[in-house]
Structure 1
Amino acid sequence: MSETENVLTPSHSLTASDGAPWQIACSQSEVKAPLTQFLEVSNLLLEQVQLNSTHLFRADILRDTSGKLETLAEKEARSQCISRNVKSDAPAGVVDDVATAEQAVPPQFEGFDLHRTIVRRLIPRKPQLDKPLEQSCFIYYSNTSETSSTQKDALVVYIPHCTSSDAMPWYHPKVRGLAYLYSSITPPSSTITATLSIHYLPFPDTPIPLPDRLTRTFQSLLKTIIRLLKLPSKSHQHPTPPHLNGANTTSTPSDISTHPLTPSTLKDTILPQHTVQNTYTLLKQRYAASLISHWIEKTEPSKHVFEDLSIAAFLIELWGGMYGSKVRFNEIAGFVDIACGNGVLVYILRKEGWRGWGFDARRRRTWDVLFGEEMEGCLQERVCVPRPFLDAIGVGEVDGVDVHDGVFERGTFIVSNHADELTCWTPILAALSGGEGSLPFLAIPCCSHGLDGGRKRYTLKEVAESVRDTSARTSSAGEDGVEEEEAQSATGDLKAMRAAKQKASVHGDDKSMYACLTRMTAALAQELGIDVELTLMRIPSTRNIGVVGNRRRVMEFENGEHELKNGVNWLALEDHAGEVEQKIRDLLVRECVSTGGVEASARTWIEKAKKLQGGQGRGKVNLKAHVG
Structure 2
Amino acid sequence: MPLSTLRVDNALWETAAGYQQSCSLTSERFLQVTDVLLENPNLNSTHLFRADILYDDAHLLQTVSEKEEQCQVAASADLGREATRADNSPPPGGVASPLPVVPGALLRRQVLRRLIPRKPQVDPPLDQWCYIYRLAKSSSDPGYVVLYVPQVEDESHMPWYHPTVKALAYTYECTASGSKLSIHFLPFSRSSDALPSRLHRTFVSLLQTFLRLAKIPAPSSQGADQDEGNSTSPVLSLAPSALKDTILPQHIVQDTYTRLKRTYAQDLISRWVEKTEPSKHVFEDLSIAAFLIELWKQIYPPGTFPGFIDFACGNGVLTYLLIKEGYRGRGFDARRRTTWKVLQMEDYLDEMVCIPQPFLDHAPADLSIERLQKSGMKVHNGLFNGVFNGLPNGLFKPGTFIISNHADELTPWTPILAALAAPESPLPFLAIPCCSHAFSGAKHRYLPKDVASSVEDTASLNGTEDQAATGDLKALRAARIKAANHQDDKSMYACLTKKVVALAQEVGCDVELTLMRIPSTRNIGILGQRKRVYAAGNGTTPAVDDVSLGKEESHKTLAALQTHTLAALQTHTMTDKVERILLRECVKSGGISEAARTWIERAQKLQKGQGRGKVNLGGKPNGQTEQLNRID
For the residues of structure 1 that align with 2:163 and 2:229, how far apart are their CA atoms? 44
Question: Aligned equivalents of 2:132 and 2:511: distance in 1?
Answer: 40
1:565 to partner: Cα distance: 7.8
- 3-state SS of the aligned residue for 2:332? strand
Per-residue Cα deviation, 1:503-536 (whole angstroms, up to 9, x for no partner):
2211122111111111101110001110011111
Distance 1:339 1:458, change over 3 A: same
**Corresponding residue for 2:217?**
232
1:155-181 C-alpha deviation (Å, 9 max, x unpaired): 111110001111100010111111111
Are the aligned partners of 2:408 and 2:434 in contact in 1 as well (CA < 8 Å)? yes
CA contact (8 A) 1:86 1:324 kept: no
What is the alpha-carbon distance in structure 1 between the residues aligned to residue 406 and residue 218 of structure 2?
A: 36
In the alignment, which of 10, 33, 39 is matched to residue 19 of structure 1?
Answer: 10
Measure the CA separation in 2 of the matches of 1:420 and 1:532: 19
> What SS is found at the alignment partner of 2:127?
strand
Answer yes or no: is the 8 Å Cα contact 2:301–2:538 preserved in 1: no
Q: 1:240·1:266 contact (CA, 8 Å) conserved in 2?
A: no
Matched AA of 2:421 = S
Residue 490 of structure 1 corresponds to 470
Name the residue aligned to 1:476: 462
2:288 corresponds in structure 1 to: 311
Residues 467 and 238 of structure 1, relative CA distance in 2, 3 Å threshold: closer
Give the aligned partner of residue 96 of structure 2: 104
| Partner in structure 2 of residue 60 of structure 1 | 52
Q: What residue number does 2:88 align with?
A: none
Identify which of 177, 201, 209 aligns with 1:216: 201
Alignment check: 8 A CA contact 1:83 1:324 kept = no
Q: What runs of 5+ residues in structure 1 fail to find an aligned partner?
A: 1-5, 188-192, 478-483
**Contact 1:428-1:524 within 8 A present in 2 as well:** yes
Say if 2:589 is the partner of 1:599. no
Post-superposition offset of 1:392: 1.7
Aligned to 1:322: 299
Match of 2:341 among 368, 381, 385: 368
- Offset of residue 85 of structure 1: 3.9
The answer for the alignment partner of 1:481 in structure 2 is none
Asked if the contact 1:240–1:269 (Cα under 8 Å) also holds between the matched residues in 2, the reply is: no
Asked if 2 retains the 8 angstrom alpha-carbon contact of 1:451 and 1:591, the reply is yes
593 and 621 in structure 1: CA distance in 2 versus 1, 3 angstrom threshold:
farther
Deviations 1:203-259 (A, max 9, x none): 13767432221122111111111222223345699946425668xxxx44xx3xx42
- The residue number in structure 2 matching 1:3 is none
How much does 1:119 deviate? 0.3
Q: Please, which moves more after superposition, 504-513 or 611-620? A: 611-620
Q: Quick one: which amino acid aligns to residue 291 of structure 1?
A: L
1-structure distance, mates of 2:241, 2:94: 31
Q: What SS does the corresponding residue of 2:108 show, helix, strand or coil?
A: strand
State how far apart, in whole Å, the 1-side matches of 2:144 and 2:247 are. Answer: 35
Aligned counterparts, 1:432-471, within 5 A: 432-469=420-457, 471=459
Instruction: Find the counterpart in structure 2 of residue 613 from structure 1.
Output: 607
Asked if 1:117 is matched to 2:110, the reply is: yes
The residue correspondences of 1:501-520 to structure 2 (distance < 5 A) are 501-520=480-499
- 8 Å Cα contact 2:288/2:518 also seen in 1: yes
The residue number in structure 2 matching 1:128 is 121
Q: Say whether the 8 Å CA contact 1:81–1:270 is kept in structure 2.
A: no
- Name the residue aligned to 1:341: 314
Q: Which amino acid aligns with 2:158?
A: M
C-alpha distance in 2 between matches for 1:423 and 1:123: 35
Amino acid at match of 2:202: T
CA contact (8 A) 1:337 1:414 kept: yes
Equivalents in 2 of 1:534, 1:398: separation in Å?
38
Match of 2:244 in 1: 267
TM-score scaled to structure 1, two decimals? 0.87
Distance (Å, rounded) in 2 between the aligned partners of 1:598 and 1:231: 48
Deviation at 1:626, TM superposition (A): 6.5
Q: Is the 8 A contact 1:49 1:58 kept in 2?
A: yes
- Going from structure 1 to structure 2, the CA distance change for 1:536 and 1:442 (only over 3 Å counts) comes to same
Aligned partners of 2:230 and 2:513 also within 8 Å? no
Structure-1 separation of matches of 2:414 and 2:613? 23
Q: 1: CA distance between counterparts of 2:614 and 2:435?
A: 18
Q: Please give the residue correspondences for 1:194-205 in structure 2 after superposition, counting only pairs within 5 Å.
A: 194-204=179-189
Q: Which ranges of 4 or more aligned residues in structure 1 deviate by more than 6 Å?
A: 235-238, 564-568
CA pair 203-33 structure 1, distance change in 2 beyond 3 A? same
Alpha carbons 1:104, 1:159 under 8 Å: kept = no
Alignment correspondent of 2:261: 284
Q: Does 1:395 align with 2:381?
A: no
Moved more, 615-624 or 520-529: 615-624
**2:550 aligned residue:** none
Indicate how the Cα distance of structure 1 residues 626 and 485 shifts in structure 2: closer, same or farther if over 3 A, else same: same
CA contact (8 A) 1:84 1:321 kept: no
How far has the Cα of 1:552 moved from its partner?
A: 0.5
Deviations 1:406-438 (A, max 9, x none): 112320000000000100000001101112210
Distance 1:534 1:577 in 2: 27
Instruction: Work out the number of aligned pairs and report it.
Output: 581
Name the structure 1 match of 2:553. Answer: none
2:105–2:135 contact (8 Å) kept in structure 1:
yes
Q: Which residue of structure 1 aligns with residue 133 of structure 2?
A: 140
Q: Unaligned regions of 5+ residues in structure 2, if any?
A: 86-90, 386-397, 548-562, 623-632
Give the SS at the match of 2:450. Answer: helix
SS at match of 1:23: coil
- Output the CA distance in 1 between the equivalents of 2:60 and 2:281: 37
Provide Cα deviations, 1:461-510, integer angstroms capped at 9, x if missing partner.
Answer: 010111133545xx623xxxxxx2340441264x4443332222111221
Kept in 2: contact 1:238–1:267 (CA 8 A): no
SS of the equivalent of 2:292 reads helix
- 1:480 corresponds in structure 2 to none
Q: Which residue of structure 2 aligns with residue 158 of structure 1? A: 148
Mapped contact 1:342–1:620 kept (Cα < 8 A) = no
CA contact 1:24–1:200 (8 Å) conserved in 2: yes
Alignment CA distance shift 1:30-1:624 (3 Å):
closer
Note if contact 2:50-2:115 (Cα within 8 Å) is conserved in structure 1.
yes
Quote the residue 1:69 is aligned against.
61
Aligned letter for 2:608?
G
Distance 1:415 1:137 in 2: 42
Give 2:478's aligned residue.
499
- CA–CA separation in structure 2 for the residues paired with 1:465 and 1:108: 63
What SS does structure 1 have at the residue aligned with 2:157? Answer: coil
